Structure 1
């Protein structure tokens, strides 16, 4: 059964994702570039590695950035939304990366239980899952497929949106900066308030990671509500 979070990412959203995501997240490409750099620093450069990319649909930007930096890495891309995964496959084809990527439509738990990875990414996913239980479950599913001590890049929104009115207004101004009308800005603000459930603080992010079997996380990128961390599976 398709999850409710996957149902949000239909054909219309997949078609606009590349443009919309770069407006909603100022520094979208920098975030993905730095994620690749942090993984390379953690794993050691120029070494073969198998990377699990959870929620890979849309731009496949994390794979593109990692592949450009490390030619000996291979990828397993997982996403429950067929339109989003199709969009990612188009980007992988355009960048000649399909031969380095296994693509799976579905959930992490659909992968073979004995398949293990040297590292993983979960970018832009956690805040689309309602409640702490599914957030912890997806982190636990990733943790179970990582080798001991393997790194995870976690990125997404944190803070309850309504608790940060200045950030929320600045986020609306970001859309205005990109040409949105006043009515469009208000529609975007209404949508973000109703459409996601991010962890309510950085402490909440750390708690979820600890409960799922990860160690302390290092934050290395921020943009308004967005945070990006590197953590490792506890040994």
Structure 2
């Protein structure tokens, strides 16, 4: 998650400490292909980044992106360094615990929002399932500009998010997660929350916003109903 905003429903207000403890078991049932999103993105960076690259993880959460990146770096014979930015203490503590157990090296942990994180240049950034928590367009702009300031020219950003899609796609998502095992009553709660609690952009609006924040046009690398992942580069 990113900079603190005046929107009362944005960012941390969506999570309680108790929900964090169940996050890892819950999120794969809500985002079809959740593991593929992380490992597919990591595989792209495995092709693009050299040994010794520094990667910024914005909204590091409970560490899924860091673990996927570490696994991929080892698989391709490289070692990367990481800056992990996460404002929720319970998520940060869980990510630390998991990364320590997995032997992920050289992580600079930043417990806070992106606007207070160091502005050292990075070779790449990942930002998964963060931006739809931010209500205002200006807040989304601040997120992207903050990432851009911390990337070297030409460095890639992998960003995934809930998108504003057609109604039939939302219904397809509900049917998909139900088929994958989410109980029907929880699927109905999910439908209600998606309608009320999140602030997605259309792919076209995201591309326009990203271009104004110093990024090249996004290229799609992940897509399931209602969710998309894009690869961009710092111009």
TM-score, with structure 1 as normaliser: 0.89
Query: Aligned pair count?
Result: 225
Structure 2 match to 1:191: 193
In the TM superposition, what is the alpha-carbon distance from 1:52 to its structure 2 partner?
0.5
- Partner SS for 1:156: strand
Structure 1 match to 2:54: 50
C-alpha RMSD over aligned residues = 1.7
Within 5 Å, which residues of 2 pair with 1:1-235? Answer: 4-44=10-50, 47-58=51-62, 60-70=63-73, 71-97=78-104, 99-113=105-119, 115-159=120-164, 164-199=166-201, 201-234=202-235
Structure 1 segments of 4+ aligned residues over 6 angstroms from their partners? none
Query: Structure 1 regions of 5+ residues with no counterpart?
Result: none
- Partner SS for 1:52: strand
For residues 171 and 223 of structure 1, the distance between their equivalents in structure 2, rounded to whole angstroms, comes to: 8
- Partner SS for 2:22: helix
In the TM superposition, what is the alpha-carbon distance from 1:156 to its structure 2 partner?
0.9
- Aligned partners of 1:57 and 1:86 also within 8 Å: no
Query: Structure 2 regions of 5+ residues with no counterpart?
Result: none
Q: Deviations over 1:103-129 (max 9, x none)?
A: 11101121234x111111111101111
In the TM superposition, what is the alpha-carbon distance from 1:178 to its structure 2 partner?
4.2
TM-score, with structure 2 as normaliser: 0.89
